[in-house]
Amino acid sequence: MNMVNFLDAAILGIVEGLTEFLPVSSTGHLILAGHLLGIPDTAFLKSFEIAIQLGAIGAVLVLYWRSFLEMSVVKRLAVAFLPTGIIGLATYRFIKEFLLGNETVVLASLAVGGIVLIIFELWHRESESAVAHTRDMSYRQAFLIGLFQAIAIVPGVSRSGATIIGGLLTGLQRVAIVEFSFLLAVPTMGAATAFDLLKNYSAFSVADIWFLSIGFITAFLVALLVIRFFLRFVRTQTFVSFGIYRILVALLFFLILM
């Protein structure tokens, strides 16, 4: 039974738009937001949380549509998506049944991910030869970034955070990997959403289209603002603040849930 109302749909859309492209885990925040709103952890809610990602995808398409016309970029996106697609398809049932909605997994992933971000930033030094443009990255770099992204199938890890760390480790500049992470979200989230809707379309009624629309629109509008903010942020700041935020959120929700 669908227990999501219009206000819930709008709030979840805002949470999705705010967190999808930041290294804080949108899935983790959606799960925790659903708990705070008192929404039952149903198959519909899990599919709804996946489906509203299309709003965030729409924001990337609006801002970066020219990049998807460059074959050099498209080829690298295809290579990066390959490991994520294979691993995601192989583990879909396990993730959907046992990890999505698991607040313990989310809190642990948020905390550990925050610690990793802080340690990484204190250790990492960008090379002068780091790749400055997505089109110039090697296929090996693209594939390795895809492997890092696959770690984010665990709720709370953060797809954005995993790809950014992977990109920096393989020799990309910050702005380059952040933009590539935006672009890689399109095939990754698009495929995940399409696959889930194909599997679970029966969980949606005609009336649910309205709730999906609210979630989609709010996620789209908020994501437009967040993408612009994040690009400005990474030009002058590190990700330490996001690491601290993740740890604080994990501790706060641990206290709430306990």
Residues 102-140 pLDDT 10s: 788 889 999 999 999 999 999 988 888 899 898 899 999
Q: What is the mean pLDDT of residues 14-28?
A: 92
- Distance between CA 159 and CA 186 in Å, rounded? 12
Look up the pTM and report it: 0.88
* Alpha-carbon span 168 to 125, nearest angstrom: 9
Torsion of CA 230, 234, 239, 240, to 10 degrees: -110
Q: Do 227 and 182 touch, CB atoms closer than 8 A? A: yes
**71 burial type by CB count under 10 A (0-12 exposed, 13-18 middle, 19+ buried):** exposed
Report pLDDT digits (tens) over 182-226.
999 999 988 888 887 787 767 677 777 888 889 999 999 999 999
